[in-house]
Structure 1
């Protein structure tokens, strides 16, 4: 998946430098509450070795020039 998504970094459920660790963290979180929103594992565009886990419902539809709190990510996986 090479889709660009936007999130506020403060909304992250988890952060990791290891992709596998981010996926495991998301799977554990999802197992605790399977009816919660889908989770997204995203790779920071500016730091290709940093991954974050977000609720899909927290995705921003687009990047506004005036909104510096929103960061661009590459979508890696949806859970």
Structure 2
């Protein structure tokens, strides 16, 4: 799954330099509240060694959803959905 989406980094549930650690963090969070929105593990496109966990409901896919001049929204590649 290598889809590009946009997120506000301040909305991240967790951040890690290790993909496995990011997945474990997302699984633990999801186990605490399984009825919450799906989670996305995303790789930062500006720093390929950085992964973040976000709620799926916070993703901004389309160009109309983002303000290109807004530097607080950055692109990510989706690596896994939980």
TM-score, length basis structure 1: 0.95
Q: Tell me, what secondary structure is at the counterpart of 1:65?
A: coil
Find the counterpart in structure 2 of residue 65 from structure 1: 68
> Which stretch of structure 1 is more off in the superposition, 58-67 or 14-23?
58-67
User: In the aligned structure 1, how far is the partner of 2:45 from the partner of 2:61?
Assistant: 17
String of CA shifts for 1:29-79, please: whole Å, max 9, x gaps: 000000000000000001000000000001113332222110100000000
In the alignment of these two chains, the number of paired residues is 79
Find the counterpart in structure 2 of residue 35 from structure 1: 35
List alignment gaps of at least 5 residues for structure 1.
none
User: In the aligned structure 2, how far is the partner of 1:48 from the partner of 1:59?
Assistant: 19
TM-score, length basis structure 2: 0.92
User: In the aligned structure 2, how far is the partner of 1:8 from the partner of 1:25?
Assistant: 19
Q: Once superposed, which parts of structure 1, at least 4 consecutive aligned residues long, lie more than 4 Å away?
A: none
